[in-house]
Amino acid sequence: MKLFAFLLIILSCIIYASAEDAVPIVEYVETETHPPPPRPYVFSYAAGRSPGSFDRTHSEVSDGSGVVRGTYSYVDPRQQIRTVDYVADKNGFYPVLSHPAVAPQQSEAVRKATENHNRLFNQIAEQHASNVNGDGFISPSDTKAVAYAKQKHLNAFERIAAEHAKIAEERRIELELKNSEIKDLEH
């Protein structure tokens, strides 16, 4: 058995030594992989939010030379169908909206609200202009609601600060007592 183990060790050493001498030489060659040539394709789909209805479509064609032409349509929030035709090539993406959106007309209610907003804005601007202090800075004045909220916040802050100061003092006293008890035990 000892002889078998000895022969196994010798055989392993010989195999290991011969493996070091037979290191294969690897040659690295750099190659450049080019992308495959463009392939022409065509796709198209229509989709909707409920069965049987379509509220958007898209179709696209590539000629294989890198030029892509397409169109897509959708229903805008005003229930108008908007269609965009586009061309994409090496120079960029060029969309054309076939039905430009029309600016909405203001209703009488919107016109009145705008006038009221502008009147109030000018009123506030005049008030602020009269509150300019000697340095040229505008010093805003608080409304009754803001003054009340500030005072309420200040009162809560002072109450909490007093509670925290009391807790800190109690902890300081406890610590002093513990330290004096430790000193008494040591003596």
2-33 pLDDT per residue, tens: 777 776 777 676 766 665 555 566 677 777 88
Give, rounded to a whole angstrom, the gap between the first and last alpha carbons of the chain.
75
The residue whose two tokens read 């009123």 is 123
d(CA 83, CA 74): 7
> How much is the pTM?
0.37
Q: Where is 45: in which H helix or E strand? A: strand 41-47
Q: How far are the Cα atoms of 9, 13, 64, 164 from residue 3, in angstroms, in the given order? A: 10, 15, 75, 85
The pLDDT tens digits of the residues spanning 52-82 come to 778 889 999 998 888 999 999 988 887 888 8
Residue 111 has pLDDT above 60, yes or no: yes
